[in-house]
């Protein structure tokens, strides 16, 4: 059962990583405009490197 | 757009480092192409550092180096691109709601994370309990669960705890009280079990309950926020601004919220007033229809009182802004409104009524369980365990979701049908309504005017008049614009504010405007007057003047809506502030027998009170300032988006568009939603009926608690979703987006 001492912290760490990633994505405003994001992915003006939006 | 001559400084915020920021509501954005076009178009303006359009709420955020451009240039640039944009009052944007929704989402994420990890450990304990888990391993798992659950519950449970605390402090009970009690007791008992090395802990149940409830609350909040955002955009697009006259004589366009009593405001001919006040200079005719329902114009001059929402027809005015003074219409409306709103705040929503009935029942059941076990000779620990199990398993998971889940689905459907809800519990009240009371002006009739009998005027004349009207900002001219046949306005057309438009075409002068402006002899002008319609005169050179009658026509589907309401067993009625003769014309056309005209705000309330006393539940639909108290006093109320501010705020829902169909849709959707709510409540009752005996007799294990709670939540949610499929089958709540 010693394996538990590795597995449980590993499981918790992975969960926390996911939680952290979610909170970060929320803070950086990725949930502000869900409809817009769906459309933006179809724009290819970033290919010409002219008006790419950094954020 | 006329923004170049106005200073938009009040809409700009400084965001540090010499960068200025402005938010705009944009109209006409339909696809990704529009989004790219606007962003690219603005990025090309020198000085602009960032332009980003939020496609979800159709709002544009622009930032630029301070001093490099005037904010008005941006608005003009957007209109060059083919969209209408209006600056957003930074004070009006709802920051608190966005923060609330973000807090709920964070709580949901934390509860979700905790629920997953605790479940991981709980499943091991459950399967270990029936096989060969050692007590040491079980204790370890319980301790780890406790360490995850305590901070998670403390963080994610705050919205429930604070709301329950508030309710208890006001000596009342809401749904959050049993939720809080259940969660806290489950946590407390689990901790005690953990300390004493017991077999059962309920950490998973407590955290999962919070997670499910937070999901429901977040969805609810989000829907309301989306509705609010839409309403705010429309308000901004309506241009809720006033031209403030500064002491140095400059004119500045400011949001209405930045106008104080004592300020002086300029109102051009054809503009709608956005403030209440007393006329200082200028005289004009005022269209009061949005305020009193009266369709005939009133002549006003210096010293007369004017109200926000009225339309200045003919002359430019300087208005001194005043607060509501004693004895004015506004004062009367405010007093009535206050009374109506106090009466309304004592009304209980279905969810709270259920909680009031449910909480004592459950708490008594728990107490009886405790006493019963003690009396049967059990030790107090076993008795307490059984009593707490009752509280956990009856845990209002299903009940807590029963109504909000349906509300989310129904308000989403209503949103698509063009109805924006102000109050979440309006849905259940819409379903109750059995009498629909309409205001006439602006509600049964279109807020905009149209030509009465287009066929009575020759097509060519009407087209020329329409093209001339394109050069005018006057509200009567707007009625003619649609007859321009898509042609461009005449080159060089000149508007004389408050009088008319003229242009030279092929050596003849075309004139469109008042009788005096077109040199119509007084006897001809007098003979043409009908008393109900407004006349616009059109004349080519010295030819025969043509009178074009313009009026607020009935909404295109008003007749159908009245018929559909009758089909659904609802009585319809008209209560109007307009003259009885004008009301009769509309009522006859619609086939409404019950009508009253010439009513004051207090009279409308009196009629509503009579209806209430005879046991009717009234749905009031109105738009005028004079309707605001009635809207607040009615069982449930709606107003069109064109309504005055006060009425929109007093109504339970606002509907969009030119048609009345949303009224029927609101009733249809709400009736279905109400049925689903009832089903959910009955299901929750049934669930409790089965679960409570199990708990009372001490058979509840954490596994059973977790299964029972999550399955009941899922069933309630699925039943709520059924409203959507049902509505889709009937074709309501779709398409009109």
Q: Tell me the two tokens of residue B656.
A: 């969009």
Does A11 contact B117 at a Cβ distance shorter than 8 Å? yes
With a cut of 60, say whether residue B631 has pLDDT above it: yes
Residue B323 has pLDDT above 80, yes or no: no
- Per-residue pLDDT at B156: 95
Among B439, B627, B652, B668, the active-site one is: B439
pLDDT higher than threshold 70 for residue A51: no
- What confidence category does residue B325 fall into, taking pLDDT thresholds of 50, 70 and 90? low
Give per-residue pLDDT as tens, B198-241.
Answer: 888 889 988 988 998 898 888 878 877 777 777 777 767 666 67
Alpha carbons B316 and B415: distance in angstroms, whole number: 39
DSSP B517: T
The ranges of chain B annotated as CATH 3.40.1110.10 are 450-551
Which homologous superfamily is B450-551 in?
Calcium-transporting ATPase, cytoplasmic domain N (3.40.1110.10)
Q: Which of A4, A19, A53 sits opposite B113 (nearest CB)?
A: A19
Provide DSSP, B172-225: ---THHHHHHHHHHHHHHHHHHHHTT-S---HHHHHHHHHHHHHHHHHHHHHHH
Class of domain B415-445+554-671: alpha beta
CA angle in degrees (0–180, nearest 5) for B718-B719-B725: 90
Which of A39, A48, A54 has the highest number of chain B CBs within 10 A, making it the mutation to test binding with B? A39
Residues spanned by CATH 3.30.70.100 within chain B?
3-88
Q: Which residues 55-74 of B are in CB contact (within 8 Å) with A? A: 55-57
CB-based contact, B109 to chain A, within 8 Å: yes
Instruction: Tell me, yes or no, if the pTM score tops 0.95.
Output: no
Given the structure tokens 């605390």, which residue do they identify?
B165
Helix, strand or coil, per DSSP, at residue B534 = strand
DSSP H or E segment with residue A8: helix A4-27
Q: Left if phi > 0, otherwise alpha if psi is -120 to 50, otherwise beta: which for B317?
A: beta
- The alpha-carbon gap from A29 to the nearest alpha carbon of chain B, in Å, equals 10
**Residue B248 appears among annotated catalytic residues:** no
Q: Is A4 on the interface with B (CB under 8 A)?
A: yes
Shortest distance, CA A10 to any CA of chain B (angstroms): 11
Q: Which residue of A lies nearest to B44 if distances are taken between CA atoms? A: A51
**How many residues are given for chain B?**
737
Closest CA to B674 of B349, B257, B246: B349
Identify the weakest region by mean pLDDT among B80-94, B314-328, B403-417, B453-467: B80-94
Query: What secondary structure does DSSP assign to B599-620, as a single string?
Result: --HHHHHHHHHHHHHTT--EEE
Partners of residue A18 in chain B, C-beta under 8 Å: 113
Percent with pLDDT over 90 in chain B: 17
Measured between CA atoms, how close is A13 to chain B, in angstroms? Answer: 10
Q: What is the pLDDT of residue B3?
A: 38
Q: Give the long-range contacts of residues B73-79, CB within 8 A, separation 24 or more.
A: B73/B45, B74/B22, B74/B24, B74/B42, B74/B45, B74/B48, B75/B1, B75/B3, B75/B8, B75/B24, B76/B1, B76/B3, B76/B4, B77/B41, B77/B42, B77/B45, B78/B24, B78/B26, B78/B38, B78/B41, B78/B42, B79/B1
pLDDT band at residue B51 under the 50/70/90 scheme: confident
A26/B102 Cβ within 8 A: yes
Q: At what angle do helices B158-169 and B135-156 cross, to 10 degrees?
A: 60
Q: Which CATH class, in words, describes the domain spanning B239-327? A: mainly beta
Cβ separation B32–A35 shorter than 8 A: no
Chain B residues touching A39 at Cβ < 8 A: 31-32, 35, 55
Q: Chain A: nearest CA to B259, how far in angstroms?
A: 31
Provide ipTM, 2 decimals.
Answer: 0.81
Closest residue of chain B to A11, computed from CA coordinates: B117
Q: Is B384 helix (H, G, I), strand (E, B) or coil?
A: helix
Is the CATH code 3.40.50.2300 the one for domain B3-88? no
pLDDT at A54: 47
List where CATH 2.70.150.10 sits in chain B: 239-327
Other beta carbons within 10 Å of B47:
14
Q: Report d(CA B39, CA B60) in Å as an integer.
A: 9
Which of A2, A40, A45, A47 is most worth mutating to test chain B (most B CB atoms within 10 A of its CB)? A40
Mean pLDDT in residue range B565-587: 88
CA B468/CA B485 separation, integer angstroms = 12
Which of A17, A25, A32, A38 is most worth mutating to test chain B (most B CB atoms within 10 A of its CB)? A32
Residue B54 has its nearest CB partner, among A8, A19, A33, at A33
Mind listing the pLDDT tens digit for each residue in B479-507? 887 777 767 778 778 777 778 888 888 78
Is B117 in contact with A12 (Cβ distance < 8 A)?
Answer: yes
Which residues numbered 12-51 in A keep a CB inside 8 Å of some CB on B? 12, 15-16, 18-19, 22-23, 26, 31-36, 39-40, 42-43, 45, 51
Alpha carbon B496 to chain centroid, angstroms: 39
Search chain A and give the residue with CA nearest B116: A15
Do B333 and B625 meet the contact criterion of CB atoms below 8 Å apart? Answer: yes
């Amino acid at each position: 059962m010693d394996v538990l001492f590795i597995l449980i912290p590993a499981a918790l760490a992975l969960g926390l990583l996911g939680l952290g990633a979610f909170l970060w994505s929320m803070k950086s405003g990725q949930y502000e405009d869900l409809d817009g994001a769906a459309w933006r992915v179809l724009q290819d003006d970033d290919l010409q490197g002219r008006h790419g939006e950094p954020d | 757009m006329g923004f170049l001559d106005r200073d938009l400084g009040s809409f700009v915020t400084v965001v540090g480092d010499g960068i200025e920021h402005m938010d705009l509501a944009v109209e006409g954005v339909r696809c990704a192409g529009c989004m790219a076009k606007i962003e690219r178009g603005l990025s090309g303006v020198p000085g602009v550092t960032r332009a980003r359009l939020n496609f979800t709420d159709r709002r544009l955020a622009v930032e630029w180096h301070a001093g490099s451009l005037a904010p008005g240039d941006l608005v003009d640039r957007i209109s060059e691109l083919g969209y209408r944009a209006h600056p957003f009052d930074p004070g009006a944007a709802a920051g608190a709601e966005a923060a609330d929704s973000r807090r709920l989402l964070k709580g949901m994420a934390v509860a979700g994370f905790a629920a997953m990890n605790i479940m991981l450990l709980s499943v091991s304990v459950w399967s270990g309990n029936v096989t060969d888990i050692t007590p040491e391993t079980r204790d370890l798992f319980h301790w780890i669960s406790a360490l995850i659950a305590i901070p998670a519950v403390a963080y994610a449970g705050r919205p429930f705890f604070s709301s329950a605390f508030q309710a208890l402090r006001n000596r009342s009970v809401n749904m959050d009280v049993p939720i809080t009690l259940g969660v806290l007791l489950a946590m407390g008992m689990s901790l005690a079990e953990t300390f004493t090395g017991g077999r059962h802990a309920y950490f998973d149940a407590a955290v999962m309950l919070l997670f499910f409830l937070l999901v429901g609350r977040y969805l609810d909040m989000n829907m309301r926020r989306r509705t609010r955002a839409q309403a705010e955009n429309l308000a901004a697009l309506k241009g809720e601004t006033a031209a403030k006259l500064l002491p140095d004589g400059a004119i500045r366009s400011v949001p209405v919220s930045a106008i104080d009593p004592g300020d002086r405001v300029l109102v051009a001919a054809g503009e709608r007033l956005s403030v209440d006040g007393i006329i200082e200079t200028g005289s004009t005719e005022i269209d009061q229809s949005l305020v009193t329902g009266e369709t005939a114009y009133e002549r006003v001059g210096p010293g007369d009182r004017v109200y926000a929402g009225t339309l200045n027809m003919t002359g430019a005015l300087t208005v001194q802004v005043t607060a509501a003074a004693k004895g004015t219409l506004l004062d009367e409306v405010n007093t009535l409104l206050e009374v109506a709103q106090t009466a309304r705040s004592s009304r209980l929503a279905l969810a709270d009524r259920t909680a009031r009935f449910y909480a004592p029942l459950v708490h008594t059941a728990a107490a009886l369980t405790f006493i019963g076990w003690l009396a049967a000779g059990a030790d107090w620990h076993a008795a307490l365990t059984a009593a707490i199990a009752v509280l956990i398993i009856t845990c209002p998971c299903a009940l807590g979701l029963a109504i909000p889940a349906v509300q989310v689905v129904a308000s989403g459907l209503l949103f698509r049908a063009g109805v924006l809800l102000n109050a979440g519990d309006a849905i259940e009240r819409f379903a109750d309504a059995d009498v629909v009371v309409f205001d006439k002006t602006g509600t049964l009739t279109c807020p905009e005017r149209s030509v009465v009998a287009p066929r009575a005027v020759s097509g060519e004349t009407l087209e020329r008049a329409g093209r001339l009207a394109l050069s005018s900002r006057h509200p009567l001219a707007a009625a003619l614009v649609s007859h321009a046949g898509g042609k461009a306005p005449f080159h060089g057309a000149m508007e004389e504010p408050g009088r008319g438009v003229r242009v030279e075409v092929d050596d003849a002068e075309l004139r469109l405007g008042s009788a005096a402006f077109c040199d119509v002899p007084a006897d001809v002008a007098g003979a043409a007057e009908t008393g109900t319609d407004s006349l616009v005169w059109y004349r080519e050179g010295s030819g025969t003047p043509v009178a074009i009658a313009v009026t607020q026509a009935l909404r295109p589907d008003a007749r159908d809506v009245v018929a559909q309401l009758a089909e659904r067993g609802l009585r319809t009625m008209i209560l109007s502030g307009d003259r009885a003769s004008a009301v009769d014309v509309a009522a006859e056309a619609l086939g409404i027998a019950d009508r009253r005209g010439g009513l004051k705000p207090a009279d409308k309330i009196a009629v509503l009170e009579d209806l209430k006393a005879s046991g009717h539940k009234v749905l009031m639909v109105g738009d005028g300032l004079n309707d605001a108290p009635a809207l607040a006093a009615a069982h449930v109320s709606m107003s069109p988006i064109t309504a005055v501010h006060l009425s929109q705020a007093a109504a339970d829902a606002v509907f969009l568009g030119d048609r009345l169909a949303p009224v029927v849709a609101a009733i249809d959707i709400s009736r279905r939603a109400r049925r689903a709510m009832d089903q959910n409540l009955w299901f929750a009752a049934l669930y409790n009926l089965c679960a409570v005996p199990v708990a009372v007799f001490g058979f509840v294990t954490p596994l059973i608690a977790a299964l029972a709670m999550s399955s009941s939540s899922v069933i309630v949610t699925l039943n709520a979703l059924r409203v959507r499929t049902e509505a889709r089958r009937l074709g309501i709540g779709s398409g009109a987006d």
